[in-house]
Amino acid sequence: QSVLTQPPSASGTPGQRVTISCSGSSSNIGRKAVSWYQQLPGTAPKLLIYNNNQRPSGVPDRFSGSKSGTSASLAISGLQSEDESDYYCSTWDDSLNGQVFGGGTKLTVL
């Protein structure tokens, strides 16, 4: 049971916009910045979004993040086949005194 709740799966067709949600609580998302990671099969995770909505250098602007209250979202616009991957949200939890991850969302590009 993950501290952060994500839908296990999401899907879209090429060119569509897809959003992935991440629900937490006042001890984590409610007071801390959220990061998002992309993990392609057999590879290490890659940072996509940090500080709720900032993109590291090299991440396409098709990827965007937002946060409201105790929830966060990752949006992918102009969906491409190479976006098919697992996506994880994460933040620090003040009650647990540790980093927490969502259970992950498997994105399928139909």
Partner 1 sequence: EVQLVESGGGLVKPGGSLRLSCAASGFAFSGYSMNWVRQAPGKGLQWVSSITSDSFAKYYTDSVKGRFSISRDNAKNSLYLQMNSLRAEDTAVYYCASEVISNSALDFWGPGTLVTVSS
Provide the binding-site residues for partner 1, judged by CB under 8 A.
2, 32-33, 35, 37, 39, 43-47, 50-51, 54, 56, 86, 88, 90-92, 96-104
Q: How far is the CB of 62 from partner 1 (least distance, A)?
A: 19
Q: How far is the CB of 68 from partner 1 (least distance, A)?
A: 19
Decide whether 16 or 54 has the Cβ nearer to partner 1: 54
CA–CA gap between residue 83 and residue 24 (Å, rounded): 25
CB 35 within 8 A of CB 53: no
Decide whether 79 or 87 has the Cβ nearer to partner 1: 87
CA–CA gap between residue 66 and residue 27 (Å, rounded): 18
Decide whether 50 or 63 has the Cβ nearer to partner 1: 50
Q: Which helix (H) or strand (E) holds 18?
A: strand 18-23
Kindly tell me the sign of the dihedral angle through the C-alpha atoms of 110, 58, 74, 100: positive
